Amino acid sequence: MHYSGEFSHWNYSRMIRRRLQSLGNDPDDNAAGDVAIANDSFRATSLQSTSSLVKSSTTYFPPRHIADFLTNTFLEYAQTNYFYFDEIEFRQKLDYYYTIERPLDINDAGWICTILMTFAIGTQFAYMHGDRSQALRDPPGENSLLDDHIGLALYRHSCRLIPDLITIASIETVQAFLLLGVYTLPIDTSGLAYTYYGLAINMAIQNGMHRRFAGDGLDARTIEVRNRLWWSAYSLEKRISILHGRPFSVSAAETDAELPKDLPELRPPNRAINLLNVNATIHLTEQLGKVAHIIGRLRRLPRGLHQPFLEQLFYIHNEIIRWWDSLPKKVHCRDLDPLGPLFRCNIHMELNYAMLRLYMGRPFILIRAANSSSAGEVDSQRDPGLDISATLSSDGVQAAIRIIELCQLLQDTVGLARISYTEFSSCRAALLAIIAQSLNARPDYLRDALLQGMTLIRQMCVGLESARSEVAVIEALEQAARRLDHRSRSEDTATSQVDSAYSQFRRWARLWQNEPSSLSVMPESQPTTQLHDPQITAGSFDGFFASFPQELGSFATLHDAESQFSLNSPSMLWLDNLQLPPFSEDISAPAWEAGST
């Protein structure tokens, strides 16, 4: 199929043709040349390579029972809340290509690449069927990376088919590029995966899959496959683009394809239907796009113009929470029963939901705005945007903690997957948010979540170089924040000790202040020796210091108060020894400035 575009040159020529026909001047196709060329879109089939690459592809096929194992592994662990191909048709193609006798040609490239990449992704998750704890403990040597070597060989051969996939530009090539993106997603997210998803989007648009099909000649099943593939490509490309700072390809206004719907002939055999999760993922992706647009506007506008956009963001925030709360807790999307058929899919759903809340709140975590009116100000003078920022920031931190809890739930049940982008990237984003929040305050519950998250993410980066480098960055930030927290707590302890002595001084000062008043009512003629009369010593200096001997010693030095606050005093020495954190230039204000010490 070919999508011409409403405002393309080719489509404009068709409009002129229809106008000429209405005037009784139908152009003579025979005079212009080939009738097929004049009426149909052009495909550069001459640029296709020979079929030799496709013919050799079957040599990479594993034995059939291994192929079934890798296919089942892909469907169980990698597919989750997206649609990559019709499972029934995929298994029919396996039967076909394992028994075919004719030589393969270029038209088989789309399905061949789809099959090979399904196997390659299956090798990434194959260890989930074995001893996961042992696999995570193994050092990154030959034994632990054997699966990765097999997957890499399958991927490299599939890459040789890419020029022909681009030239063919069929529905099968959309499947193939989606799977190439899935394979590279945990390895090079913002590079190769982003590129492959972009190619999948372009192939889909070339086939008109982003638009509602209103013509004839396609059955309901084919139309539904097109719609599901489109929304999967759209959601993946848009989500990855936003979360990794890349522009996405297609806006919501440019697509009117029908949302996926249930179709009996597309229901997978012996497997739960994930259609509700697919549609929920599409909804979260659309909301993520709206949030990204507003945050982008906030970054470009001066502070005085922020309020309307903050209110929009807060409205979306509340709408998302209401939508999530409206979903049934024990059915489909929110069923977190480890024995449920879609348990892992539902965990990923909530991870995506929590990531959206975190994405909304994390820009405000590092903003050190006043949470309450300063002394002397009235409430009417308070910036209402501060309340919204504080709410979004707080909810983002809570979402980060929830992500750690969900990852721990996965680890305790079906196990975390070291190659899962959703699990790793969610845990990574949550840890960064928690570290950012700890620069403002580091309560015990944040320390516990941070320790738990670091343990989990270290388990997920085994054997994956890109993941190890990202974890190294998080570890460096966490250690620096921990040093900052330790220093802050040491300073708080020293300050509390000073405050304790000062409070005792204040207690003494109040009693001292009351003493002269009692003396002033005495008759002037009364001898001063009566001050030592036992009947009036209850409130005297001697009586006070008798119960506080340490304060008496301190008071003896108060006459030299000026020398106590010299440059060599403990207070001044503390200021001299105070060191800025090594990364203070990267944050808006050092965490130690939050205190009043």
Specify whether the backbone of 376 is left (phi greater than 0), alpha (psi in -120 to 50) or beta: left
Of residues 349 and 138, which shows the higher confidence score? Answer: 349
Please check whether residue 417 is in contact with residue 465, taking contact to mean a CB–CB distance below 8 angstroms. no
Looking at residue 309, its pLDDT comes to: 92
Query: Of 145-149, 378-382, 545-549, which range is least confident?
Result: 545-549
Please check whether residue 450 is in contact with residue 478, taking contact to mean a CB–CB distance below 8 angstroms. yes
Q: Is 60 exceeded by the pLDDT of residue 593?
A: no
Q: Residue 36 — pLDDT band, cuts 50, 70, 90?
A: very low
3-state secondary structure of 412: helix
Of residues 418 and 296, which shows the higher confidence score? Answer: 296
Q: Is 50 exceeded by the pLDDT of residue 538?
A: no
Q: Is 70 exceeded by the pLDDT of residue 75?
A: yes
Looking at residue 200, its pLDDT comes to: 97
3-state secondary structure of 101: coil
Region 497-518: what's the mean pLDDT? 58
Region 371-388: what's the mean pLDDT? 53
pTM of the shown model:
0.75
Q: Residue 383 — pLDDT band, cuts 50, 70, 90?
A: low
Q: Is 80 exceeded by the pLDDT of residue 243?
A: yes
Sequence-separated contacts (24+) of 475-479 with Cβ below 8 Å? 477/432, 477/435, 477/583, 478/431, 478/435, 478/450, 478/454
Cα atoms found within 13 Å of the Cα of residue 147, Cβ hemisphere only: 22
Please check whether residue 461 is in contact with residue 468, taking contact to mean a CB–CB distance below 8 angstroms. yes
Rg (C-alpha) for the chain, rounded Å, is 35
Looking at residue 587, its pLDDT comes to: 34
Looking at residue 498, its pLDDT comes to: 55
- Helices 109-125 and 171-184, interaxial angle, to 10°? 20
The pLDDT tens digits for 272-331 are 899 999 999 999 999 999 999 999 998 888 878 889 999 999 999 999 999 999 988 766
Region 7-12: what's the mean pLDDT? 66
Mean pLDDT estimate for the chain = 77
Looking at residue 222, its pLDDT comes to: 94
- Helices 109-125 and 146-159, interaxial angle, to 10°? 160
CA angle 131, 137, 142 (to 5 degrees): 90
Single out the residue of 78, 80, 76, 73 nearest to residue 126, CA to CA. Answer: 73
Looking at residue 487, its pLDDT comes to: 63
Q: Residue 440 — pLDDT band, cuts 50, 70, 90?
A: confident
- Helices 343-361 and 307-326, interaxial angle, to 10°? 160
